[in-house]
Structure 1
Amino acid sequence: MASVNPPRGMRDFLPADKARRERVLAVIRERYRAHGFDEIETPVVEEYSRLHAGIGGDNEKLAYNVLKRGLDADAIRAGADDPAALADLGLRYDLTVPLARFYASHRGELPSVFRSIQIAPVWRAERPQKGRYRQFVQCDIDIIGDGSARAEAELIVATLDTVDALGLDGGSVRVNDRRVLEWMLASFGFTDDEKPGVLITIDKLDKIGPAGVAAELRGRGTTPTAVDAFEAFLTRPQTLEYHPYGERQIRKALPEGAPDEVVGHLVGIGEAVAAARSGDGDVPLVFDPFLVRGMGYYTGTIFELAHPSVDYSLGGGGRYDGMIGRFLGQDVPAVGFSIGFERIVDLIADGDAAAASAIVLVHDRDVPLGELLAIKAGLLADGARVRLEQRTKNLKALLERSAADGYTSFATVTAGAALADLEIKPLA
């Protein structure tokens, strides 16, 4: 028999799971819209050439490609070593590349500073494992057309507000800038050719520590004096005094001589976030000079969402000022922040299934259909959610299943009963 399971790395959702996901998505949409963002929709497929234009980083290697129609066996054999000859479309692997194309297509119809919401599934040919899927939902907000620190601050404030609204207060955002990383590596003596590989190794710092990073760089034949300088910086003596996010914290975390323009941009983000969250005490930002984020299109500020309940990030993003220029021929400033929906939804407490009552009407077989539907219509008019269920021998199992599906109460219906006769009882 053929397998009845979904493809590996993809999932079915039972009604209760689907309802829970939709409740979380509703909160995310509502908070994003409250902050002035507008939702758009793009196709699930994009042109192959666009998805493989060198702007998607490692995700390009994970793209699902769509075979051209009408290819015969000879054409397939001839193109076996050239995917571009076999595919003209592909499933989107993120929402940023489609957004850049969308903006280039509709720029004349959009405001000069465009604040976008995209909430939709994406597909990557990942190796399935716990928490890593081949189909998953991304929740993106982006600001296009604003190159100032205000754009990053708006994204961070909207994201933290959304996380708070979901009951995950206490979140914070780690912040860095790819320009700082580039400057820092150059100051240590790494060559331009070495920098991409060095960044990959730096990204492992939390896992393998300074000694492990230095050993891996030496094992790859990286410039010895640069590795020595970098290791000395990583292991330098440091005081344990606490500094809140700001210029002092940023400069203390970097080698001397960090570029003033970039430091000023980072400080400006913190000042704006502090103004927006003035009643929350310390600004929930942390400067992390070794935050890398692997996407190849980041050109400036990068950030990741952290929460004390887990040891992994719950989202991230950054500035990608060069991407839209690939389509328009001129650069347009752009920055985005994506919430990791699949990770966040697992942390959200169930809470109330619905604001209105949800009632199961358990009826005998002989109750006339017209009577049932009249009672149901009356409850619906009062704003309730209503399900009809014919009484079974195992009433307890029926009610337990209804509770699992989000229903909060039940009533039994006999022939001749009316809405006023119902005795509504809680399911719990």
Structure 2
Amino acid sequence: MPSVNPPRGMRDFLPADKARRERVLAVIRQRYRAHGFDEIETPVMEDYGRLHAGIGGDNEKLAYNVLRRGLDADAIRAAAEDPAALTDLGLRYDLTVPLARFYASHRGELPGVFRSIQIAPVWRAERPQKGRYRQFMQCDIDIIGDGSARAEAELAVATLDTLDALGLEGGGIRINDRRLLDWMLEHFGFGADERPGVLITIDKLDKIGPDGVGAELRERGAAATAVDAFEAFLRRPQTLEFVPFGERQIRKALPEGAPDEVVAHLVGIGAAVAAARSHETEFGGVPLVFDPFLVRGMGYYTGTIFELSHPSVSYSLGGGGRYDGMIGRFLGQDVPAVGFSIGFERIVDLVEQGEDAAAEAVVVVHERDVPVAELAAHKARLVAAGGRVRLETRTKNLKALLERARADGYTAFATVAAGQTDLETKPLG
């Protein structure tokens, strides 16, 4: 017999779980729209060549590909060593690649600066484990057509505002710039060809520390003088004073001589976020922290990168960055673009349970002999009053029935007998 379980790494959601997820999604959508973003929808599948064009980083290796139609056994054997000959479509592994294709296709119908919302499932052939799924929801906001600090600031403010609206106040954003990372590695003496591997190791700094990073870089065969210079920088004497986000904090965290243009861009983001979040005090007025070793793994990032943090958890709750070169792959000319994605599957577990906004969610428990027409009339009146209504036939174990209804989000109940004209609702306490 086939298994009745969902595929590994994918999940079913019971009604209460689904309702909770939809409540969280409704808040996210509402806050994003309040900040001037408009929701779009793209197909769950894209062309194989687009998904494997070298712009999706390591996620391209995790793509689910769709077998071409009409291939017989001989054709499959002949093309066994060439995935592109076997497949022509694939399930999207993120929402950024489809957005780039969408913008290239509809540019003439969109405003000069386009602010998009995408909330949809994506699929990756991950190794299933706790907190890592093969199908999961992404909640993205992106700004296309604006290369200024305003775009990053808008994304940061909208994201922090959304976190607040979900009851997760006190969030912050770690921020860096890929151009600073590249400049820093060049400053230490790492060659251009070895920098991608060096970044993979630097990304582990929080986990393995300076000694571990140095040892791994040497194992990778990185230039010894560059590793020495990098280790010396990590171990440099530093004061423990608190430096709020701004030019001083950024330059204090970098070797001398950092590019003025990039530093000024980050400072501009901080000034705009500070103005919008003037009520924030925990981070000295700016809920941003410059992290010179924030890497983020996506190969398409070209500038600012950021990660969303919250004091209640040690892991990131989202992230994003600037990817100015991606859309140009489709248009033949560069278009500035930057995006931020909330980690929905992580956030939904942190949000406290809430109730639907309807006046009442009522389960109507009726005797078996109540005519269907009477039940329909009772239900229609409750629904017209703004309630949510479920009809249930009375069972011997009424307590179990009501407990099940309460678990499904119902807040009140009423009992009905044949010929009864009025309903008295009571709370499910």
Q: TM-score, normalised by structure 2?
A: 0.99
Residue-by-residue CA offset, 1:94-135 (whole Å, 9 max, x unaligned): 000000000000000000000000000000000000000000
What is the alpha-carbon distance in structure 2 between the residues aligned to residue 33 and residue 261 of structure 1? 32
Residues 7-156 of structure 1 correspond to what in structure 2 (within 5 A)?
7-156=7-156
Mapped contact 1:176–1:291 kept (Cα < 8 A): yes
How far the C-alpha of 1:8 sits from its partner, in A, is: 0.1
What is the alpha-carbon distance in structure 1 between the residues aligned to residue 280 and residue 368 of structure 2? 58
What is the alpha-carbon distance in structure 2 between the residues aligned to residue 397 and residue 379 of structure 1? 23
Q: Which amino acid aligns with 2:418?
A: A
Q: Does 1:385 align with 2:388?
A: yes
What is the alpha-carbon distance in structure 2 between the residues aligned to residue 239 and residue 78 of structure 1? 65
Superposition CA RMSD, Å: 0.6
- The residue aligned with 1:339 is 342
Mapped contact 1:321–1:331 kept (Cα < 8 A): yes
Q: Secondary structure at the match of 1:43?
A: coil
Residues 269-308 of structure 1 correspond to what in structure 2 (within 5 A)?
269-281=269-281, 282-308=285-311
How far the C-alpha of 1:279 sits from its partner, in A, is: 2.1
- The residue aligned with 2:318 is 315
How far the C-alpha of 1:368 sits from its partner, in A, is: 1.2
What is the alpha-carbon distance in structure 2 between the residues aligned to residue 192 and residue 367 of structure 1? 79
Unaligned runs of 5+ in 1: none
Q: Does 1:370 align with 2:351?
A: no
Q: Which amino acid aligns with 2:310?
A: H
What is the alpha-carbon distance in structure 1 between the residues aligned to residue 4 and residue 179 of structure 2? 50
Residue-by-residue CA offset, 1:69-103 (whole Å, 9 max, x unaligned): 00111111111111001000000000000000000
Mapped contact 1:353–1:407 kept (Cα < 8 A): no
- The residue aligned with 2:425 is 424
Residue-by-residue CA offset, 1:361-408 (whole Å, 9 max, x unaligned): 000001111111111111111100010000011111110110011000
Q: Does 1:177 align with 2:180?
A: no
Calculate percent identity across the aligned residue pairs. Answer: 84
What is the alpha-carbon distance in structure 2 between the residues aligned to residue 195 and residue 72 of structure 1? 44
Residue-by-residue CA offset, 1:265-312 (whole Å, 9 max, x unaligned): 000000000111112232100000000000000000000000011111
Please point out which of 340, 351, 355 is paired with 1:352. 355
Select between 316-325 and 351-360 the one with higher mean Cα deviation. Answer: 351-360
- The residue aligned with 2:403 is 400
What is the alpha-carbon distance in structure 2 between the residues aligned to residue 221 and residue 335 of structure 1? 34
Q: Which amino acid aligns with 2:271?
A: E
Residue-by-residue CA offset, 1:237-290 (whole Å, 9 max, x unaligned): 100000110000000000000000000000000000011111223210000000
What is the alpha-carbon distance in structure 2 between the residues aligned to residue 353 and residue 114 of structure 1? 32
Q: Secondary structure at the match of 1:280?
A: coil
Residue-by-residue CA offset, 1:13-61 (whole Å, 9 max, x unaligned): 0000000000000000000000000000000000000000000000000
Q: Which amino acid aligns with 1:110?
A: L
How far the C-alpha of 1:351 sits from its partner, in A, is: 2.1
Mapped contact 1:100–1:324 kept (Cα < 8 A): yes
- The residue aligned with 2:333 is 330
Mapped contact 2:358–2:386 kept (Cα < 8 A): no
What is the alpha-carbon distance in structure 1 between the residues aligned to residue 218 and residue 356 of structure 2? 55
What is the alpha-carbon distance in structure 1 between the residues aligned to residue 420 and residue 255 of structure 2? 80
How far the C-alpha of 1:352 sits from its partner, in A, is: 2.2
Q: Which amino acid aligns with 1:20?
A: R
What is the alpha-carbon distance in structure 1 between the residues aligned to residue 358 and residue 263 of structure 2? 46
Unaligned runs of 5+ in 2: none
Q: Which amino acid aligns with 2:198?
A: V
Q: Secondary structure at the match of 2:279?
A: helix
What is the alpha-carbon distance in structure 1 between the residues aligned to residue 90 and residue 279 of structure 2? 46
Q: TM-score, normalised by structure 1?
A: 0.99
Q: Which amino acid aligns with 2:118?
A: Q
